[in-house]
């Protein structure tokens, strides 16, 4: 297990604001078969497994572009495509710093039924925990976790779970090695790569031909 002292020291690190524009991201498209290979921790998909479009999003919980996409664009995608069986969505971990890793771990520990809601809350409240002084990080994350039903013991146990931490980092490592991801958010829409934050119009333009086709 990760010790409480090492946890606090890690979370004290300033977040790495390494979200990159599309032009700065290397790598190309990927085969749907390669993308579908499961990692050491299971995917948490949304939508119909038989949907004509599958999207993989690699994100960091401390990426401002990812947070803006989640709050401003993703609700449209969910209501228009995911809820109507047109798109299957898989969010995968690509933490850029220890605080992002902690956020993903808490979402996993919240349970399968609360995972996506926890992701939403952490992104919506990103400013309150990701970009604050070191002494404020744990209290802010504790408050969010307790609102999701965590006890103090469960909160600390989650963030000290080395197996979970290693799993999150393995997802990131495979994405880096296999798909050459070096910034967030990065999307693969039926295998086609889109680097950087997408607008509603850009997403619609990318998926509509795939659905109609």
Contact in structure between 169 and 101 (CB atoms under 8 Å): yes
- Provide the domain limits for residue 191: 52-212
Coil, helix or strand at residue 132: coil
Global confidence as pTM: 0.91
139, part of any domain? yes
Q: What is the pLDDT of residue 10?
A: 64
Please state the rounded mean pLDDT for residues 8-17: 59
Our measurement of the distance from residue 199's CA atom to the centroid of its chain's CA atoms, rounded to an integer in Å, reads: 17
Neighbours of 182 (CB within 10 A): 16
The verdict on residue 11 lying in a domain is no
Segment 35-85, tens digit of pLDDT: 999 888 999 999 999 999 999 999 999 999 999 999 999 999 999 999 999
Q: Is residue 168 part of a domain?
A: yes
Instruction: Look at residue 15 and tell me if it is in a domain.
Output: no
Q: What is the 3-state secondary structure (H, E, C) of 189-200?
A: ECCEEEECCCCH
Inter-residue contact 190 to 54 (CB < 8 Å): yes
Residue 22: inside a domain, yes or no?
no
pLDDT digits (tens, 9 = 90+) for 132-152: 988 899 999 999 999 999 999
CATH number for the domain spanning 182: value is 3.40.30.10
Query: Using the 8-state DSSP alphabet, how is residue 87 labeled?
Result: E
Q: Establish if 43 belongs to a structural domain.
A: no
pLDDT of residue 134: 85
Any domain includes 40? no
If we measure between CA atoms, which residue out of 119, 116, 124 comes closest to residue 103? 119
The whole-number pLDDT of residue 135 equals 86
How many separate domains does the chain show? 1
């Amino acid at each position: 297990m990760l010790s409480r002292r090492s946890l606090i020291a890690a979370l004290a690190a300033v977040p790495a604001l390494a979200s990159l524009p599309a032009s700065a991201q290397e790598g190309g498209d990927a085969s749907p078969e390669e993308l579908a290979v499961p990692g050491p921790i299971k995917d948490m998909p949304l939508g119909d497994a038989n949907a004509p479009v599958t999207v993989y999003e690699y994100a960091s919980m401390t990426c401002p572009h990812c947070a803006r996409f989640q709050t401003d664009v993703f609700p449209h995608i969910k209501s228009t495509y995911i809820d109507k069986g047109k798109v299957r969505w898989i969010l995968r971990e690509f933490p850029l710093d220890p605080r992002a890793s902690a956020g993903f771990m808490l979402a996993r520990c919240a349970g399968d039924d609360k995972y996506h809601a926890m992701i939403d809350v952490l992104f919506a409240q990103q400013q309150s925990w990701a970009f604050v002084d070191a002494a404020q990080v744990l209290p802010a994350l504790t408050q969010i976790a307790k609102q999701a039903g965590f006890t103090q013991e469960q909160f600390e146990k989650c963030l000290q779970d080395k197996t979970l931490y290693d799993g999150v980092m393995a997802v990131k490592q495979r994405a880096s090695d296999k798909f050459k991801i070096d910034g967030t958010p990065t999307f693969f829409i039926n295998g086609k790569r889109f680097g950087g934050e997408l607008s509603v119009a850009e997403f619609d333009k990318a998926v509509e031909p795939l659905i109609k086709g």
